[in-house]
Amino acid sequence: MLSRFFHRWEQRLASATRDRVVRPFEWGNGWVDLAGPEGPALHEPEGPALHNWIDGIMGDTSAFFATPPTTDYDFDAARGELRFPSALTTPHLENNAVLARWFPASASLQPRNAGFATLRR
């Protein structure tokens, strides 16, 4: 059901204008470590290396999305912010940190007599 909805929506967007420009895949392999931890990233814009990398990811998506535990975090309760390093690194340092917002539940929604652990660094 949702796939049909999104397909029709995309078709409406694509047909709304005649001046659409199709751009090449150029965000580049600099964002993808195609050679893995053993070697440098490959810098071909497309081709077998990228397809092999995608096939490897799709072959074990659980491993790709699994992240190791970390104790390297900072929790600011006053601001409701949790920061920690990203498990995926990029060439841009500002993208290598995760910022999460914490929204505490109102007192009426919290379970009675529940003990809550406090995050501490």
User: Beta-carbon neighbour count of residue 34 at 10 Å?
Assistant: 21
What CA–CA distance (Å, rounded) separates 38 from 26?
24
pTM summary value = 0.50
What CA–CA distance (Å, rounded) separates 92 from 74?
21
Considering only CA atoms, give the Rg of the chain.
21
Q: What is the model's pLDDT at position 87?
A: 84
- pLDDT tens for the chain, 121 residues long, are 788 998 898 888 888 877 878 777 666 666 666 555 544 455 555 567 777 878 888 999 998 888 888 899 999 999 999 999 988 777 778 888 999 998 888 777 766 655 555 555 4
With DSSP H G I counted as helix, E B as strand and the rest as coil, what are the percentages for the chain, rounded to 5? 35, 10, 55
DSSP letter at 87 equals S
